[in-house]
Amino acid sequence: MTESLGVSLLGAGNVGGGVLAALAAGAERYAARVGRPLEVRRVLVRDASKRRKGVSKRVLVDSLDAVLVDSRTRIVIELMGGERPAFDYIRRCLESGRHVVTANKEVMAKHGGELLRTAAAHGVRLLYEASVGGGIPIISPLSRDLLANEVTAVTAIINGTTNYMLTAMAQRGSDYAGVLAEAQRLGYAEPDPTADVEGIDAAYKLAILCGLAFHVDVSPADVTRRGITRLTARDFRYAEELGYAIKLLASGRLIEGELVASVQPVFVPKAEPLARVDGVLNAVQVEGDLVGRVIFEGPGAGPMPTASAVLADVLDVARDLVASRPPSETIAYRPVVVRPSSKVVSRFYMRVTVLDQPGVLARIATILGKHDISIASVIQFETDARSGTAELVITTHASPGGELEAAVKEITALNVVSEVGNVLPMVGA
């Protein structure tokens, strides 16, 4: 009989449970596809005395050492999430000569470069397909299938929670607080939704994608980030009237060799494929000099889709082990200069609440003109007779973010302006 290949897990939560269930259900096909059966050797959990469905109590351990002493564990799957202690655990596994498969976006975004070097130094692999886009293949396509391209842009919807919320706001005219409560009720949003709604989760994933796409060192701090908490039902109504969807877009580009990376709500023309990615779906669009534009779409979260990505990596490592294939050389990343968002040129949408009296638009237009910002359209959408205010929606032609910010400051200071609401970039020239 062929000897089994030992696999151990760090963490047995939702995703870990999915991975264990899939390993059990697919044992026969995985053995056939790998050439040797996979065997779950150890599962690291907080409380090893607690019973878990589908996990033999025999394999439960509560310390990393208990995993590392098992000489038959060749592959470790890290599914604990969070930066610590996952980062140290992954490093120790690599140093002990174990291949590691992780779904940990935070660790890979913050420490991916260092860990990949550690893996290379110890002749093992570190794979992380599940860290971005759940079940959607995107890490491997960027690493392998699009490697002949000079990738020029990555544009993605990579946070299902916020995409669910924005879709609900767009389709039902609901306000932010209402859809957040609903998303929490449905389990799509955490009790503390900060990481999702402030774009932190998406920024980790974008940092990983930019590194792979452009072969540069990117840290999450290099990503300009704005959340969705200030969006109102009115923004969605105006977007609809203008022919746009509002999406929390993760966007990375190299412009004249400088990195421009942002996670923010953006007006996306309805004709764009990404405008039609609704609900909890994720999608990643990659533009390259040879391929043009390709899009990968699918479920961005959930235990079984994530298990699909995790186990793809596990099977890949396992097949390498069976064929005695050493790891490929790591492609070196180079340092990159981050272009400040003030210098990034874009079209903009701006919602301004003004006193409903003559001459107001002229004063706003004068300020914009002074900053060389040319107006694409102005529409007065609503007038509130009670407060004597009107709402102007202004869209601009392409302008540097810094000029726009300066103009918004001056416009806000006008005594005829009661509020400058959201100012959002628009996709398109």
Q: Is the dihedral angle over the CA atoms 170, 174, 178, 183 positive or is it negative?
A: negative
Q: What is the DSSP string of 78-98?
A: E---SSTTHHHHHHHHHHTT-
Among 311, 424, 426, 427, binds a copy of itself (CB under 8 A): 311
Based on the shown chain and the rule CB under 8 A, indicate whether residue 28 belongs to the binding site for a copy of itself: no
Strand order in 73-78's β-sheet?
60-61, 38-44, 5-10, 73-78, 99-102, 126-127
Distance CA 351, CA 318 (A): 55
CB of 218 to a copy of itself, least distance (A): 18
**Closer CB to a copy of itself, 60 or 301, in the complex:** 301
Based on the shown chain and the rule CB under 8 A, indicate whether residue 39 belongs to the binding site for a copy of itself: no
Among 46, 72, 270, 325, binds a copy of itself (CB under 8 A): 325
**Closer CB to a copy of itself, 81 or 298, in the complex:** 298
Q: What is the DSSP string of 161-212?
A: HHHHHHHHHHHH---HHHHHHHHHHTTSS-SS-HHHHTTHHHHHHHHHHHHH
Non-local CB neighbours of 174 within 8 Å, separated by 6+ positions: 168, 182, 233
CB of 7 to a copy of itself, least distance (A): 12
Number of residues interacting with a copy of itself: please give it, by CB under 8 A: 58
Of the candidate spans 59-67, 96-104, 144-152, 156-164, the one that interacts with a copy of itself by CB under 8 A turns out to be: 144-152
Based on the shown chain and the rule CB under 8 A, indicate whether residue 117 belongs to the binding site for a copy of itself: no
User: Parallel, antiparallel, or unpaired for β 375-384 and 389-396?
Assistant: antiparallel
Task: Check 50, 105, 110, 205 and give the catalytic one.
Answer: 205
Non-local CB neighbours of 263 within 8 Å, separated by 6+ positions: 199, 202, 203, 206, 223, 224, 225, 226, 248, 249, 250, 251
SS3 315: helix
CB of 349 to a copy of itself, least distance (A): 25
Residue numbers 275-294 binding a copy of itself by CB under 8 A? 276, 288-294
Of the candidate spans 28-36, 184-192, 358-366, 389-397, the one that interacts with a copy of itself by CB under 8 A turns out to be: 28-36
Distance CA 34, CA 45 (A): 27
**Closer CB to a copy of itself, 211 or 425, in the complex:** 211
What torsion, rounded to 10 degrees, do the Cα atoms 279, 281, 287, 292 define?
-90
**Please, are residues 164 and 282 in contact by the beta-carbon 8 Å criterion?**
no
Based on the shown chain and the rule CB under 8 A, indicate whether residue 170 belongs to the binding site for a copy of itself: no
Among 24, 69, 121, 148, binds a copy of itself (CB under 8 A): 148
Q: Count other Cβ atoms within 10 Å, centred on residue 258.
A: 14
Based on the shown chain and the rule CB under 8 A, indicate whether residue 333 belongs to the binding site for a copy of itself: no
Give the CA radius of gyration of the chain: 24
Of the candidate spans 97-105, 146-154, 226-234, 391-399, the one that interacts with a copy of itself by CB under 8 A turns out to be: 146-154
Determine whether 205 is an active site residue.
yes
Phi, psi angles (nearest 5°) of residue 427: -75, 140
Based on the shown chain and the rule CB under 8 A, indicate whether residue 335 belongs to the binding site for a copy of itself: no
Based on the shown chain and the rule CB under 8 A, indicate whether residue 221 belongs to the binding site for a copy of itself: no
**Closer CB to a copy of itself, 273 or 340, in the complex:** 273
Based on the shown chain and the rule CB under 8 A, indicate whether residue 176 belongs to the binding site for a copy of itself: no
CB of 134 to a copy of itself, least distance (A): 8
CA distances to 56, 71, 101, 285, 383 from 37, rounded to whole Å, are 17, 17, 18, 36, 69
Both tokens assigned to 155: 């544009």
Q: What is the DSSP string of 252-271?
A: EEEETTEEEEEEEEEEEETT
Based on the shown chain and the rule CB under 8 A, indicate whether residue 212 belongs to the binding site for a copy of itself: no
Q: Which amino acid is at 422?
A: N
Binding mask 227-256 for a copy of itself (x = CB under 8 A): ------------------------------
**Closer CB to a copy of itself, 145 or 372, in the complex:** 145
Distance CA 182, CA 187 (A): 9
Of the candidate spans 24-32, 84-92, 166-174, 180-188, the one that interacts with a copy of itself by CB under 8 A turns out to be: 24-32
Based on the shown chain and the rule CB under 8 A, indicate whether residue 27 belongs to the binding site for a copy of itself: no
Residues in the chain: 429
**Closer CB to a copy of itself, 293 or 409, in the complex:** 293
**Closer CB to a copy of itself, 62 or 145, in the complex:** 145
Catalytic residues: 205
Residues that bind a copy of itself (CB under 8 A): 22, 26, 29-30, 32-33, 35, 129, 135-137, 140-141, 144-150, 273, 276, 288-299, 302, 304-305, 307-312, 314-316, 319-320, 322-329, 331-332
